[in-house]
Chains A and B, each alone.
Chain A
Amino acid sequence: MGLRNIVKRLDKYQQRLDEGKAEKIKAHHVEKAIEKLAAKEVELTEELGSAEKPEKRARLEEKLSTIRAQIEKARWLSQEI
């Protein structure tokens, strides 16, 4: 999941914002979204710490990587807005 489709979705949002059909995203909104993702990251890290089965560890690592990617994207969004 690269940034290409996110850019498209952001463009659509900007368009709806210009038309008065969307609410303006402010920095504190993105911070809140990052806070929620970070809370999940902490939870998953703790779970990973106590996981023993290699399959379970692999699954948790994948989940962690997805959440971290989401956080990165949210930070990028924060710059864009």
Chain B
Amino acid sequence: MTGETYAMAVRNFEALIAQPPSGRHTTPATLIRAAGLPPSSGYRHVATLEAEGLLRRDRDGTYLPGLSAVRTGLRAFGFGAIAPVAEPIITQLRQATRHTAFLGICDGAGLFVGPYSVGPQTRHHQMQPRYRLEPGSDLVAEKPLETRLRYDDAGIARRVAGIVAPLIVRGEETIVLGLLLDGHRSDASALGAPLLEACRQLHIQTGSPS
């Protein structure tokens, strides 16, 4: 096999793995089409990625990144230890608050959004992979921070309200748990307590210092 064969294999992998976050695909055919792959090999590749846990389907059959993908992503940040507990923590937090719950990584003024679960109260907002924090947003342990998360949508500057609490600080990076807020209906003061409780549970289970 030549170098081009391997490069093509990586490009095919990349094309398929990039689809679930960017679109809603409920059949292998639409996923393969969106990835620009030929059906002959596409079905085999999708089956492989599903078997490897890098893709999965939810209850409606919609393709999502698999749990192995989330673990690999968090390992790439060096935060792999929290990967096994991320799903139960985020799901419970979303279920209790009905707001979109997420795990994020703050790097200075930027916030990379990792795994998340969309709550009915804030499902109108399309989760972005990256936000900018408002200037002066200082993260303090045990203190949820209500802030504006800024992002660009087709060249238009937009913002959404959020509340974040720091979990683990390592060098320049801080891993946070957060909730998106709905300006009309969310009561940030009531959401701080479950957010801190989720942080506390995560510390207990991973043995990580706050």
Tell me if chain B binds chain A: no
> Which residues of A line the B interface, CB within 8 A?
none
Residues of B participating in the A interface, judged by any CB pair closer than 8 Å: none
